A and B are shown apart, each in its own frame.
Chain A
């Protein structure tokens, strides 16, 4: 498992290649979030952020058989087109990998302490994100 909160960009294919050589891995599902339309600055709560992400991945591991997982979230100044977050999950079969990947993103959006600020002000939390996280209960 790899959890990283960083200013630097990331390379999805490199992260996926770094997954364990576990022969039982048969599927890798991934998600990359990209900054849309306007520039933003991302603030976070150092220490808590990493712990929150680790807990989310561990929770996914109790629901599906996750062989390996990488979550990277960027902070600082980002512009349209920049990659902001990636989640990659390795499992035996695609169903588990897809589900765990989506679950991790839904929980990340409602439980990991990141805040976006655009030129127009702080971005407000969306009820649709809460609903997306709720359906895993």
Chain B
């Protein structure tokens, strides 16, 4: 299945991209699994995703925890803790 993955702020800069479509094998159905999949790419991805507390996630524009499910066509965003206001 395919999901659209977005990156913001420092993650976007570290990874040199703001979005990409990621093809996931069957069973890769949670944020945690996607995060580990990206981390396993090594290099900048390994560095960006190494510290769990520094990477927050939203699925279809709703903030979620690591165990949240994902399905084909979802928009999954990764970003650092927010600093607005």
Chain A residues near B (Cβ < 8 Å): 33, 42-45, 47-48, 51-52, 73, 84-85, 105, 108-117, 121-125, 129
Contacts and interface: CB of A to CB of B under 8 A. Distances in A.
Interface range on chain B: under 10, 10 to 19, 20 to 34, or 35 or more? Answer: 10 to 19
Nearest to A53: B84
Among B9, B77, B81, B84, residue most surrounded by chain A Cβ atoms (within 10 Å): B84
Contacts of B79: 45, 113, 115
A43 B63 contact: no
Q: Could you tell me the dominant secondary structure of chain A's interface residues?
A: mixed
Contact of B84 (A44, A48, A121, A124): A44
Contact of A112 (B8, B62, B82): B82
Contacts, number: 73
Given A45-B8, A122-B9, A122-B10, A114 B61 contact: no
Contact of B80 (A33, A51, A84, A122): A122
B27 interface: no
Contacts of B8: 43, 45, 113, 115
Given A52-B63, A113-B8, A45 B81 contact: no
A47 B61 CA distance: 7
Contact of A111 (B6, B77, B80, B82): B82
B84 A112 contact: yes
Contact of B58 (A113, A117, A129): A113
9 contacts: A48-B77, A52-B63, A109-B85, A112-B82, A115-B10, A121-B10, A124-B83, A125-B80, A125-B81
